Amino acid sequence: MRFDLDMAARAIPELLGGLAVTLELSVLVIALSLIWGVVLVVGRLSHLLPLRLACAGYLQLVRNTPVLVQMYFFYFGFAMAGLRLSGFEAGLLAMVLQNGGYMSEIYRAGIENVGARQREAGLALGMRPFEAFRIVIFPQAVRLVLPPMTNQFVAIVKDTALVSTLSAADMMFRARLLIDRTAAAYEVFADLTAMYLVLTATIALLMRAAERRLGR
Amino acid sequence: MPNVLIASLPYLLRGAIVTLELSAVCALLASAIGIIAALAQSYGGLVARGIALIYLYLMRGTPMLVMVFAAYYLLPYVGINVEPMTGGVLVVSLYYGAFMSEVFRAALASVPRGQWDAGRALGMHGRWLMGIVIVPQALRLAGPPFINTCIMLVKGTSLVSVIGLVELTLSGREVVERTLAPFQVFGGVALIYFVICYSLSLCGKALEARLPHAH
């Protein structure tokens, strides 16, 4: 068994075809879960007890079940109910529901760590509650929120590989097709691993640059 | 309709037992790997640190599914024919070992310097200092993130279903193929995972409440 460099080079364009799907899914999941997380954290911090409880319950539910099972639930479930979701759509739905929950926890930790005193100080200066949030809390919370968010983004990119089990043609899916066709498992896995490493390292670097920017 | 779930519950529970066994074995192995990697990263020589860093970077930067399939496709090439259970244990332990190492590394790092100095002032060094002063405090600090990583690990075991290990998730898929009731069955599967993971998180909370604050 030897490593065939030529084969490894020829596998790269095939995998790059899947990179578009992986990237598209990652970007959509990140954008939508950032938004869904805001909705959830507003509910979580609201004055209405039922809303607060509902959001806390939702969070426990998505946090304590595997995202793969959630994907199967939507993919096979909706198909049986007559509403056919593609593997991409079912994966997107499950990942946004789960990661939105994680995002809301990251927001909450950020807001709570800035502290009630800061808010009170803003109110004492005559700001309205929303102004106190926008001017005092938010800029400080953003800095606290970036490091855990980086971890979550990396986790999202890695989790997108799961949609390959629902026949969405991402990098993982193309890699498996390629191995079935060529039997060059070593070469293809080396390429695939390297591409995921580059992808996740890029995110980590970009986020660190953002941290430095905002840290000043 | 819910009787589909009731009828298939014994089969799902058999899968849940496999998930529990797999999780328990992997949590133990991952902890051992994590401790070794954390020590190598924090106190090892150049070579040990290099190996630990490459391992951590590789595991944290690539999807676990890639590792699962790699074990499935690559090991037979080098003449190692592993059963799904062995391959599953191998991949899940190695993968979450990297996350465990972060838990232990952070815990070791957050024992204050003063504790090291105090131990040394009492004439302790090396294994004594670590064993009596540092590690017990670090273990307390590691409690809650350790439980969180265990929950991640239990959920992560669902991925080995794709290489044919009949645990809870694959049991669910098999039942769905027979009964054609995906909402009920996967809802039930999710519920079983929820019971396992939520119990774990309750244990974590109890642990947090009971342990006195270190230092």
Q: Which residue did the predictor score with more confidence, B206 or B97?
A: B97
Residue A72: list chain B partners with CB under 8 A.
169, 172-173, 176, 182, 186
Q: Are B30 and B89 in contact (CB under 8 A)?
A: no
Distance from CA of A126 to the nearest CA of B (A): 39
User: What confidence tens digit (pLDDT) does each residue in A177-187 have?
Assistant: 998 888 888 88
Cite the DSSP H helix spans in B44-167: 46-61, 64-77, 84-109, 113-121, 126-128, 135-156
Q: Is A192 on the interface with B (CB under 8 A)?
A: yes
Give burial (CB, 10 Å; 0-12/13-18/19+) of B149: buried
Q: Is A147 on the interface with B (CB under 8 A)?
A: no
Which overall architecture, per CATH, does domain A5-215 show?
Orthogonal Bundle (1.10)
Q: What is the distance in angstroms between the CA of the first residue and the CA of the last residue of chain B?
A: 56
Distance from CA of B92 to the nearest CA of A (A): 14
Cite the DSSP H helix spans in chain A: 5-44, 49-63, 67-80, 87-114, 116-124, 129-131, 138-159, 171-182, 185-215
Q: Are B59 and B94 in contact (CB under 8 A)?
A: yes
User: What confidence tens digit (pLDDT) does each residue in A53-96 have?
Assistant: 999 999 999 999 999 999 999 999 998 888 889 999 999 999 99
Q: Which chain B residue lies closest to A157 (C-alpha atoms)?
A: B63
Which of A161-165, B41-45, B109-113, B201-205 is most confident? Answer: A161-165
Residue A61: list chain B partners with CB under 8 A.
194
Largest CA distance in chain B: 70
pTM for the complete prediction?
0.89
Q: Which chain B residue lies closest to A67 (C-alpha atoms)?
A: B155
- Residue A76's pLDDT is 93
- Residue A139's pLDDT is 84
Residue A64: list chain B partners with CB under 8 A.
151, 155, 193-194, 197-198, 201
> How far is C-alpha B207 from the geometric centre of its chain's CA atoms?
18
- Residue A1's pLDDT is 60
- Residue B174's pLDDT is 92
User: What confidence tens digit (pLDDT) does each residue in B180-192 have?
Assistant: 888 999 999 999 9
- Residue B116's pLDDT is 83
Distance from CA of A129 to the nearest CA of B (A): 33
Please state the domain extents for chain A: 5-215
Q: Is B182–A80 a contact, with Cβ atoms under 8 angstroms apart?
A: yes
User: What confidence tens digit (pLDDT) does each residue in A89-137 have?
Assistant: 999 999 999 999 999 999 999 888 887 888 888 888 888 888 888 888 8
User: What confidence tens digit (pLDDT) does each residue in A152-202 have?
Assistant: 999 999 999 999 999 888 999 999 999 888 888 888 999 999 999 999 999
DSSP letter (8 states) at residue A170: S
- Residue A104's pLDDT is 95
Which residue segments constitute the domains of chain B, with CATH numbers given? 2-210 (1.10.3720.10)
Distance from CA of A3 to the nearest CA of B (A): 12
- Residue A202's pLDDT is 94
User: What confidence tens digit (pLDDT) does each residue in B100-149 have?
Assistant: 999 998 888 888 888 888 888 888 877 778 888 888 888 778 888 899 99
- Residue A160's pLDDT is 95
Which residue, among B67, B165, B178, B186, would best test binding to A if mutated, counting the most A CBs under 10 Å from its CB? B186
- Residue B1's pLDDT is 56
Could you report the predicted ipTM of this complex, rounded to two decimals?
Answer: 0.88
- Residue B101's pLDDT is 94
